[in-house]
Amino acid sequence: GAQRALWVKNITLCQKDHLSATLLSDDLPADFLRAITCQVCDHLLSDPVQSPCRHLFCRGCILKYSRALGAHCPACSLPCDVAELKSPAKAFLAVLHSLALQCPREGCGELVRMDAFRAHCLGHLQQRQTQMRDNHADGELDGYLPVNKGG
């Protein structure tokens, strides 16, 4: 329930690193949504690994979960040794990486492939830094140049 979710979040601490499923541009079927989200943190799978019982988690999440709560699967409770985790099938990873996410930045809203999403957001950040630097430069110039206030 909600208590367990909070408890798990305090273990994984991935809120700032992982992507939310709310970024998905489509209204996807329930089972498909479950298939592409981490069974520990509920974010979109980030560097996923597969347990012997074929459940998926972010690599970071299952390692932290196992260390804190023991070597069992968070989805089905079967034994799950971290040494037995393996990479999911390439066909599945291709599906995951090609999911279309909608950029949440105001005035953008572009659809971006999941594997290009970080680069896209970094672009916005750099753009913003450039603007701030330009504004700052303008601000400095304001102090040196005579300002025609009209009238």
Residues forming contacts to Zn ion in the complex (CB under 5 A) are 14, 18, 38, 40-41, 43, 53, 55, 58, 61, 73, 75-76, 103, 105, 108, 110
Q: Which of 8, 41, 56, 112 binds its own copies (CB under 8 A)?
A: 56
76-115 per-residue burial string, b: 16 or more CB within 10 A, e: under 16: eeeebeeeebeeeeeebeeebeebebbbeeeeeeeebebe
Rg of the Cα trace of the chain? 22
User: Is 97 among the residues that bind its own copies (CB under 8 A)?
Assistant: no
91 binds, among Zn ion, its own copies, none (CB under 5 to 8 A by kind): its own copies
Task: Tell me how far, at minimum, the Cβ of 38 lies from its own copies, in Å.
Answer: 11
Q: Which of 83, 90, 107, 150 binds its own copies (CB under 8 A)?
A: 90
Gap between the terminal Cα atoms of the chain: 66
